[in-house]
């Protein structure tokens, strides 16, 4: 499990965390509107990926089940058809609505709309890379997606200063650098993936979507709840909101370890390979992540304004990270064993407890009540997920 998960962790850390940070660092000298543009565009792209997530997840699980037992080409062809349809359905409205979307989030929508024009138009490239990575992971290979993510980030690092400042493209240059880096990485991925020519009957698109939709629903539900919490924490003042934002970014680097375990458990379960005890592994990694974040809280958050509030947030997150680590790890087993719907139900049950508690406890304890509600919600979700595990 750890051998499979480690490359996934590097992939997720570089693909999810580092790209946005690189762009933010390079555009920071352009002023606050540029920083806001990258921040908003990254959030919008993240939500768009949540809508598409069902496709690569479904491919990984179904290819894992069929590898060595049934033809893979029909599933792969269906995956690419879903990619084509989803890319148009998600990217085109986003491009056309980029200005209203930008106006929702910032008082200076111009730079944000410019960034969104390029980043949303480039979504088909991003989605295609996730399809390739999903296929490769289904066959038990997690090192190639890691390599792809590292190549992409290296290209972004090189292209950002060239396009932003060298060619004077500003914020649009940052967006273009990311899209170009992804396009080159995709070309490399397709050239090295190899072709699977086995024959087989047509594979229904509904099977791919039905397999992957619970993961997409889980992703979108977490995003929606995150927005609610931002609004709630904002009521306690700018310092607390800044601390929450900084703490979340720092915590994300650790949380990616949980999602790496989930993918490893999903891949091995789909392929019929042993997973050991994902629960105990997830809980153990949760403890390790909490300890590391507590150790680095002061020096890391000290690099940002609002660091003291972020330190308090990371301290309280110890109560949340342990059950959350267990929940995410066992989620991979549930997803691959056809119990993804039960996992989504457990997630929603946890949120049904968390959100009312967040308002009740925060009225009594202040912002710390929000942090306690997160721990309570994760614990309820974990209990629901364990009740749905195979053999129960």
- Note the pLDDT of residue 385: 94
Ordered DSSP codes for 153-190? HHHHHHHHHIIIIIS--THHHHHHHHHHHHHHHHHHHH
Q: For the chain, how big is the Rg over CA atoms in Å?
A: 21
Per DSSP, 198 falls in state -
pLDDT at 32 > cutoff 70? no
Q: Are 185 and 15 in contact (CB under 8 A)?
A: no
Q: Are 160 and 174 in contact (CB under 8 A)?
A: yes
- Note the pLDDT of residue 54: 93
- Burial state string for 162-180 with b = 16 or more CB within 10 A and e = fewer than 16: ebbeeeebbbbbbbbbbbb
CA distances from 5 to 265, 278, 321 (A): 8, 12, 18
CA 14, 118, 121 angle in degrees (round to 5)? 95
CA dist., res. 114 & res. 170, Å (int): 10
At 258-274, the pLDDT tens digits run 999 999 999 999 999 98
| 51 contact partners, CB below 8 Å, separation of at least 6 | 86, 90, 216, 220
**How would residue 226 be classed by pLDDT, with cut points 50, 70 and 90?**
confident
CA dist., res. 97 & res. 117, Å (int): 9
- Note the pLDDT of residue 354: 96
Ordered DSSP codes for 366-383? THHHHHHHHHHHHHHHHH
Residue whose structure tokens are 């565009």:
41
**How would residue 17 be classed by pLDDT, with cut points 50, 70 and 90?**
low
Q: Are 308 and 362 in contact (CB under 8 A)?
A: no
- Note the pLDDT of residue 250: 82
The whole-number average pLDDT for the span 189-212 is 81
CA dist., res. 28 & res. 20, Å (int): 12
Domain boundaries, the chain: 2-193, 212-387
φ, ψ at 121 (rounded to 5°)? -65, -25
Q: Are 361 and 369 in contact (CB under 8 A)?
A: yes
At 57-84, the pLDDT tens digits run 999 999 999 887 888 888 999 999 999 9
Provide the token pair at 211.
Answer: 């397999």
**Cα torsion 382, 385, 387, 390: sign:** negative
Higher pLDDT, 73 or 241: 73
pLDDT at 186 > cutoff 90? yes
The whole-number average pLDDT for the span 109-121 is 87
pLDDT at 276 > cutoff 90? no
φ, ψ at 167 (rounded to 5°)? -95, 0
The whole-number average pLDDT for the span 94-121 is 84
How far apart, in Å, do the first and last CA atoms of the chain sit?
22
Q: Are 310 and 246 in contact (CB under 8 A)?
A: yes
CA distances from 350 to 41, 173, 368 (A): 29, 41, 18
**How would residue 355 be classed by pLDDT, with cut points 50, 70 and 90?**
very high
**How would residue 144 be classed by pLDDT, with cut points 50, 70 and 90?**
very high
Average pLDDT, the chain: 87
Highest mean pLDDT, choosing among 10-19, 152-161, 368-377: 368-377
**How would residue 19 be classed by pLDDT, with cut points 50, 70 and 90?**
low
- Note the pLDDT of residue 198: 66
**How would residue 311 be classed by pLDDT, with cut points 50, 70 and 90?**
confident
| 251 contact partners, CB below 8 Å, separation of at least 6 | 293, 314, 317, 321
CA dist., res. 371 & res. 358, Å (int): 8
pLDDT at 306 > cutoff 60? no
Q: Are 30 and 171 in contact (CB under 8 A)?
A: yes
CA dist., res. 237 & res. 222, Å (int): 23
């Amino acid at each position: 499990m750890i051998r499979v998960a480690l490359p996934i962790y590097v992939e997720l850390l570089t693909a999810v965390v580092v790209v946005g940070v690189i762009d933010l660092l390079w555009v920071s000298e352009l002023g606050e509107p540029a920083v806001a543009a990258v921040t908003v565009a990254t959030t919008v792209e993240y939500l768009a990926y949540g809508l598409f997530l069902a496709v690569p997840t479904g491919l990984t699980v179904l290819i894992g089940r069929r590898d060595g037992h049934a033809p893979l080409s029909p599933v792969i062809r269906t995956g690419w058809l879903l990619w084509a349809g989803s890319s148009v359905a998600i990217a085109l409205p986003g491009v056309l609505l980029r200005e209203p979307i930008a106006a929702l989030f910032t008082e200076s929508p111009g730079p944000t709309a410019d960034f969104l024009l390029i980043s949303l138009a480039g979504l088909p490239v991003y989605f295609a890379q996730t399809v390739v990575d999903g296929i490769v992971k289904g066959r038990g290979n997690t090192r190639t997606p890691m390599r792809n993510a590292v190549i992409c980030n290296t290209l972004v690092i090189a292209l950002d200063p060239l396009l932003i400042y060298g060619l004077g493209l500003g914020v649009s240059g940052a967006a273009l650098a990311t899209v170009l880096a992804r396009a080159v990485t995709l070309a490399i991925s397709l050239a090295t993936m190899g072709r699977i020519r086995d024959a087989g009957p047509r594979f229904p698109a509904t099977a791919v979507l039905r397999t992957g939709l619970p993961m997409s629903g889980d992703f979108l539900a977490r995003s929606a709840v995150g927005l609610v919490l931002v609004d709630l924490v904002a009521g306690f003042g700018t310092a607390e909101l800044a601390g929450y934002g900084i703490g979340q970014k720092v915590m994300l680097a650790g949380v990616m370890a949980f999602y790496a375990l989930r993918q490893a458990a999903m891949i091995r379960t789909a392929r019929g390979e042993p997973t050991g005890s994902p629960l105990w592994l997830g809980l153990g990694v949760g403890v390790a992540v909490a300890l590391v974040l507590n150790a680095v809280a002061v020096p890391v958050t000290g690099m940002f304004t609002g660091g003291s509030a972020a330190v308090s947030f990371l301290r309280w997150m110890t109560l949340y990270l342990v059950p959350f680590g267990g929940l995410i790890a066992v989620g991979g087993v549930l997803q691959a064993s056809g119990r993804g719907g039960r996992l989504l139900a457990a997630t929603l049950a946890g949120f049904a407890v968390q959100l009312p508690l967040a308002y009740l406890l925060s009225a009594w304890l202040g912002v710390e009540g929000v942090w306690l509600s997160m721990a309570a919600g994760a614990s309820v979700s974990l209990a629901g997920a364990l009740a749905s595990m195979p053999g129960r």
